[in-house]
Structure 1
Amino acid sequence: MHIVHTIAELRDRLARFQRPAFVPTMGNLHEGHMALVRQAKPLGDVTVASVFVNRLQFLPHEDFDTYPRTLAADAAKLAGAGCDLLFAPSEGELYPGPQTFRIVPDPAIADILEGHFRPGFFTGVCTVVMKLLQCVQPRVAVFGKKDYQQLMVIRRMVRQFALPTEIVAGETQRAADGLALSSRNGYLSAQERQEAVSLHRVLTLMAQRARAGEAHAPIESEAIETLRQRGWKPDYLLLRRRLDLQQPAAGDDLVVLGAARLGETRLIDNIEV
């Protein structure tokens, strides 16, 4: 695997390929990321991953400065998963000046759920993803379903800007007890790690009740209360229409989405119903 740190090096390496397959990451990689790389590999003629901690998607009180930077370990994992090229730019390389041009996504999908609790988050995400797509020029890019709303926002951005990239969804990877793999799981204490699986269990029960035809409002309110009683601070536990994450109507395909804070760590998860 080759590692490049500049856009010029990246483009030089990719010049002879026609169908790059791309997996963008913020590093601190785990098996969930490796699954995306393995999924991407047969979809192109070269497999590219990026590692870049994007300042634009962190709120002032969030963990940008303390977010783990583990490039050497990340590179070893990517090489083991069959990645061909790692793009690991510095902040100065990707943002050589203030990024005054931003991609502002449709508020109807970007200002709800995560966007409500993290204002401006998806503007930061869309801006860096647009920039990375312009650097790599992939024909396929793979994003995980764990960040369900992010996946949908990026799909809409790519479609509306007519970018020549197919966005492919990767299934959420989980630990044996059901906890969705996440870089932020490393922030959990041993006791919190045992409790963290409760989010997945509550979402699973919500999905089961929705499949059985129960009314959504009590499913949601009872799920929130269950987590609160276990010491969590929920932001949302909601049933939404898969198509656009709006309030569902009869017959819609559904997804249940949750975000809650356990101690100092904020976890998200979802289950398609």
Structure 2
Amino acid sequence: MGDVTVRTPERREEGVPHPVTEETGRGLLRRLRAPRRPRLWFEILLIALSYWTYSLIRNAVPEQRTQALRNADWIWRAEQQLGVAVEQSVNHAVNSVTWLVVGMNYYYATLHFVVTLGVLVWLYRSHPGRYAATRLVLFATTGVALVGYYLYPLAPPRLMNGGHFIDTVMVHETWGSMASGDLKNMSNQYAAMPSMHIGWSVWCGLTIFALASVPWVRVLGLLYPALTLVVIVATANHFWLDAVGGVLCLGFGYAVAGLWYGALPHALPRSVPGAERPRAWLPRRA
């Protein structure tokens, strides 16, 4: 009798091709999306490099002074027609109180960075599972703002021709503003739309409000962007419509993070699986 070849199920399975590449790609995508414990050295390097890149690109955008002044005149006329042109009144009222306007000048120059970095550090330490997603919101917001600076150059109110706004830093000779005095040549003076003072402060405020456990801290989180809006208008660095642009950019940032992680940052787990300190050294109970 002739030999009979019997195909076993194992051998039959060997002949079926497996979509290795597709499965590997999906696994890599899942790993990239999964929250992980942030590494301190990497975060410091990433934030420093990102801010350097942001500053470089923002200041490399052509200033387009003529177009920036034309856009500022258009916004000011539009606000006047709508009856919402309050910037000049606020600017002059605050400028009449020296201690208040000087305090706002320092606020504008410093808290923009201090509070934002402080919130990032707090997230890193207390909410590692939400850190990467919340950071992505901030980065995406800043990235789309650069597009706005390029497409829509805008002069701040203090640089308008015949706008009768007061440059509070110049008048009161307060330190620290990249927008006036000897430091003005280090920054693009016509990148006022959108306002990242508002974009970043609202990001800080919403993050604190959503994740803080102490009620009064949550209230402070909401007050911070509101006070920032008053400051940017009172110091004549922005129209209030620039703040609207900053909020729209922030909405884009949250949309990017939501699509990438499948949920908004505050809805992600607070801790990262496997990030807790190992407990193998603890004695076992009988």
| Class of the TM-score when normalised by the shorter of the 2 chains | under 0.3
Q: Indicate the structure (1 or 2) with the bigger Cα radius of gyration.
A: 2
Scaled by the length of structure 1, the TM-score of the pair is 0.20
- Greater strand proportion: 1
- Greater helix proportion: 2
Scaled by the length of structure 2, the TM-score of the pair is 0.20
